[in-house]
């Protein structure tokens, strides 16, 4: 093994290893319900400086830097593609303050901490301080799902991460351009002229390419199946051409291009963004593994106490000062401000951009920029681990934790939806009934079940419903096609295993049937809306039965032969919705949630309930 490590591996094997480690770490993190970035960091350090199996400089050679540059360009374009200016204007006051006040304050505070605590020069500190504005949208989402915060603090953290992602990248790009121009120019006047020229050129190229692309898509000059390939081809072309015309201006150009497309109101925007997100996941994991494997023991040993002091300063001084100052004199309660102030995980965007800019600054003669990448790794690892373990306990301490069990969104107002919502609420499970018809929500409102009046797939729902609080979707409307559309559209967000719908009516002619790849898992033992409505008219009820040693699952099945099992609820409140083919696993101490004829339970069950 030592001989193989010294000789290295073929480039193709290196690419395969990076892909396997990146995707494998993300899958394992999903299984273990922990931040993927931690496992990617461990994997990269293990095969790189740890075991010496993979050295990107040795095994990939001159291809590494162009690959990282292109990956960072796509990542920054993705960041720009998330910045919808209308959403920003309509955001709550707290989010606007965290963006317009928090971003500049965070940039200033991080720059000062990097210079006076970590000992970096002003050039490196200014560039890295801009990147540190980003709190990691790819990291904050899993943390929020795990912590189950209440609506307002979760929205503040989520929207701050989404909006500040492109702003932080843009700030870092501008600072990077300024530093390079100052290094190359002979006089201050030349530096200002070169800086303005670079910003104008990159902005014009980004706006022009974004406008041309949006118009081509809107006027159907590009077929639907070619939109994503054309998007990526134009992106790479703009990046390369801008860099060729004026060195290092390509990153700013693609960021501006992404912002333009995000606000062009394209009908195919959702599909473009979703595919782009998939590509970004691969690129981010690949870049992270490459940069982690590129670390060497000598560079890591240079960190020492300055890196630890920087992490402490950023987490306990810069971040709280930024948030508390930004949210001062608002109606947001003080405990919510504290929770947001001490929650600021950094993500892979920080590492990717810091790694690229560090290399470029070192090439420009700024030697201390070599520490940017290891400092980024240290900050990301510390914040992700700290907030991953502390966010939920801190939320409980401040009284800002939601329910332990992920909530359920019930799409389609009806008597059955109201009964299901009431039954889940009795077991302290968050519920939301959504329907575009206000009249169908009347029974839910009267029963005290939270409702959303509108289309659950609309932009209003995206901004008005805190999706982080919910983990499952059940589409039970009377429109089978709409149920299928909801299940298909929300499956990537919630996971296909967590999306259910009432069974579609069987079509005698296959030409009229929907493809089996569409829709969610059949709910309520495969019953249709009409069958359930017929039972509800016969005064069927949704009931909850506690299973005990004296009243087992078999006893319940024997006593309730007509029962339609809907869900199993564990003794700790864990919810398992049941599809048509689910095997019942309820044991003593668990509850069965079921639909059946109204009537009293048997004597053994009555004793168990007591």
Whether the CB-CB separation of 519 and 491 falls below 8 Å is answered with no
Q: Are strands 591-597 and 540-546 parallel, antiparallel or unpaired?
A: antiparallel
Residue 411 has pLDDT above 90, yes or no: yes
Average pLDDT over residues 373-385: 84
Residue 3 has pLDDT above 70, yes or no: no
Residues comprising the chain, all counted: 610
pLDDT digits (tens, 9 = 90+) for 44-64: 888 888 888 888 888 887 777
Q: What is the C-alpha to C-alpha distance for residues 102 and 423, in angstroms, rounded to an integer?
A: 43
pLDDT of 280 reads 66
pLDDT of 520 reads 84
Q: What are phi and psi of 588, to 5 degrees?
A: -60, 135
pLDDT of 132 reads 85
User: What's the gap between Cα 596 and its chain centre?
Assistant: 39
Task: Using CA atoms of 407, 411, 417, 422 in order, give the dihedral in degrees to the nearest 10.
Answer: 20
Which of 87-101, 117-131, 460-474 is modeled with the greatest confidence? Answer: 117-131
User: What's the gap between Cα 110 and its chain centre?
Assistant: 24
pLDDT of 192 reads 67
pLDDT band at 405 (very low <50, low <70, confident <90, very high): low
Closest by Cα among 473, 516, 469 to 497: 473
Q: Quick one: 532 exposed, middle or buried, by C-beta within 10 A (0-12, 13-18, 19+)?
A: buried
Helix boundaries (H) for 398-514 = 415-426, 442-446, 459-464, 480-494
Q: How many CA atoms lie within 13 A of 384 on its CB side?
A: 26
Whether the CB-CB separation of 330 and 93 falls below 8 Å is answered with yes
pLDDT digits (tens, 9 = 90+) for 530-584: 888 888 888 888 988 888 888 888 888 888 888 888 998 887 778 888 887 778 8
Beta bridge partners of 569: 575, 591
pLDDT band at 191 (very low <50, low <70, confident <90, very high): low
Q: Is the dihedral of CA 509, 514, 516, 519 positive or negative?
A: negative
Residue 107 has pLDDT above 70, yes or no: yes
Please give the CATH superfamily to which domain 407-609 belongs. NAD(P)-binding Rossmann-like Domain (3.40.50.720)
> Would you give the DSSP letter of residue 369?
G
- The percent of residues in the chain predicted with pLDDT above 70, rounded, is 81
Which of 173-187, 403-417, 506-520 is modeled with the greatest confidence? Answer: 403-417
Q: What is the C-alpha to C-alpha distance for residues 84 and 260, in angstroms, rounded to an integer?
A: 9
Average pLDDT over residues 230-243: 88
Interacting residues of 274 by C-beta distance below 8 A, sequence separation 6+ = 492
Q: What are phi and psi of 528, to 5 degrees?
A: -90, 170
Residue 189 has pLDDT above 70, yes or no: no
pLDDT of 145 reads 67
Q: Which of 1-10, 139-148, 315-324, 471-480 has the lowest mean pLDDT?
A: 1-10
Average pLDDT over residues 241-250: 76
CATH class (in words) of the domain with range 2-397: mainly alpha
Whole-number average pLDDT of the chain: 80
Q: What is the C-alpha to C-alpha distance for residues 355 and 348, in angstroms, rounded to an integer?
A: 10
Residue 313 has pLDDT above 90, yes or no: yes
pLDDT band at 18 (very low <50, low <70, confident <90, very high): confident
Closest by Cα among 481, 499, 501 to 490: 499
* Coil, helix or strand at residue 54: coil
Residue 1 has pLDDT above 50, yes or no: no
pLDDT band at 174 (very low <50, low <70, confident <90, very high): confident
Beta bridge partners of 575: 569
Task: Using CA atoms of 267, 268, 271, 275 in order, give the dihedral in degrees to the nearest 10.
Answer: -140
Average pLDDT over residues 367-395: 84
pLDDT of 320 reads 93
pLDDT digits (tens, 9 = 90+) for 247-258: 667 877 888 888
pLDDT of 588 reads 83
pLDDT digits (tens, 9 = 90+) for 269-291: 666 666 666 666 777 778 778 87
Task: Using CA atoms of 297, 299, 302, 305 in order, give the dihedral in degrees to the nearest 10.
Answer: -80
Helix boundaries (H) for 263-414 = 269-294, 297-301, 304-313, 319-326, 334-341, 348-363, 372-397
pLDDT of 228 reads 81
pLDDT of 44 reads 86
Helix boundaries (H) for 33-101 = 36-45, 56-59, 64-81, 85-90, 93-100
Q: Which of 172-176, 312-316, 340-344, 565-569 has the lowest mean pLDDT?
A: 172-176
What residues does each domain of the chain span? 2-397, 407-609
Contacts of the segment 316-325: beta carbons below 8 A, 24+ positions apart = 316/342, 317/109, 317/113, 318/106, 318/109, 318/110, 318/113, 319/106, 319/344, 321/105, 321/109, 322/102, 322/105, 322/106, 322/109, 323/98, 323/102, 325/101, 325/105
* Coil, helix or strand at residue 567: strand
Structure tokens at 412: 């389609």
pLDDT of 463 reads 62
Give the DSSP per-residue string, 230-279: HHHHHHHHHHHHHHHHSTT-HHHHHHHHHHHHHTS--TTHHHHHHHHHHH
Going from the C-alpha of 313 to that of each of 34, 246, 316, 318, 433, the distances in angstroms are 25, 37, 5, 6, 44
């Amino acid at each position: 093994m030592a001989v193989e490590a010294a000789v290295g591996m073929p480039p193709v094997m290196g690419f395969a290893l990076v892909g396997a480690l990146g995707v494998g770490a993300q899958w394992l993190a999903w299984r273990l319900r922990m931040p993927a970035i931690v496992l990617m960091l461990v994997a990269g350090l293990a095969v790189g400086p740890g075991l010496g199996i993979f050295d990107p400089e040795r095994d990939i050679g001159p291809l590494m830097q162009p690959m990282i540059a292109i990956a960072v360009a796509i990542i920054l374009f993705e960041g720009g593609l998330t910045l919808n200016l209308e959403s920003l204007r309509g955001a709550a006051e707290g989010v606007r303050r965290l963006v317009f006040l928090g971003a500049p304050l965070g940039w200033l505070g991080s720059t000062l901490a990097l210079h006076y605590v970590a000992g970096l020069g002003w050039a490196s500190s200014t560039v890295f301080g801009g990147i540190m504005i980003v709190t990691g949208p790819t990291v904050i989402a899993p943390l929020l799902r795990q912590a189950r915060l209440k609506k307002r603090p979760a929205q503040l953290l989520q929207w701050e991460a989404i909006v500040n992602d492109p702003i932080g990248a843009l700030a870092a790009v501008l600072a990077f351009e300024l530093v390079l121009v100052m290094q190359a120019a002979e006089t201050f006047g030349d530096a200002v002229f070169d800086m303005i020229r670079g910003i104008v050129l990159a902005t014009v190229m980004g706006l022009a390419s974004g406008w041309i692309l949006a118009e081509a898509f809107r006027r159907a000059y590009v077929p639907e199946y070619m939109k994503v390939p054309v998007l990526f081809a134009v992106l790479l072309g703009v990046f390369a051409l801008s860099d060729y015309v004026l060195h290092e201006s390509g990153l700013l150009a693609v960021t501006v291009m992404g912002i333009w497309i995000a606000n062009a109101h394209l009908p195919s925007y959702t599909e473009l963004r979703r595919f782009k997100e998939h590509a970004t996941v691969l690129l981010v994991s690949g870049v992270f593994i490459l940069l982690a494997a590129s670390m060497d023991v000598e560079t890591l040993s240079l960190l020492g106490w300055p890196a630890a002091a920087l992490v402490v300063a950023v987490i306990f001084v810069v971040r709280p000062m930024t948030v508390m100052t930004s949210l001062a004199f608002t109606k947001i309660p003080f405990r919510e401000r504290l929770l947001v102030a001490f929650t600021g995980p950094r993500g892979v965007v920080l590492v990717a951009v810091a790694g690229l800019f560090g290399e470029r600054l070192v090439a420009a003669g700024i030697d201390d920029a070599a520490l940017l990448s290891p400092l980024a790794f240290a900050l990301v690892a510390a914040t992700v681990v700290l907030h991953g373990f502390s966010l939920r306990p801190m939320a409980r301490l401040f009284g800002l934790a939601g329910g332990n069990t992920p909530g359920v969104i019930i799409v389609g107002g009806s008597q059955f939806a109201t009964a299901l919502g009431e039954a889940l609420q009795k077991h302290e499970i968050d519920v939301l009934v959504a329907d575009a018809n206000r009249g169908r929500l009347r029974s839910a409102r009267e029963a005290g079940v939270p409702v959303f009046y509108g289309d659950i797939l609309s932009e209003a729902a995206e901004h008005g419903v805190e999706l982080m609080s919910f983990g499952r979707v059940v589409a039970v409307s009377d429109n089978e096609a709409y149920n299928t559309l909801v299940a298909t559209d929300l499956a990537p967000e919630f996971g296909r295993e967590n999306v259910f719908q009432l069974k579609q009516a069987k079509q005698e002619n296959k030409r009229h049937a929907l493809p089996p790849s569409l829709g969610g898992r059949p709910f309520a033992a495969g019953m249709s809306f009409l069958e359930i409505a017929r039972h509800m008219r016969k005064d069927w009820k949704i009931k909850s039965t506690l299973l005990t040693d004296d009243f087992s699952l078999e006893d319940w099945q024997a006593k309730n032969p007509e029962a339609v099992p809907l869900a199993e609820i564990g003794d700790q409140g864990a919810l398992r919705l049941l599809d048509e083919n689910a095997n019942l696993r309820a044991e003593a101490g668990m509850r069965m949630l079921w639909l059946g004829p109204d009537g009293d339970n048997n004597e053994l069950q009555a004793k168990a309930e007591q």
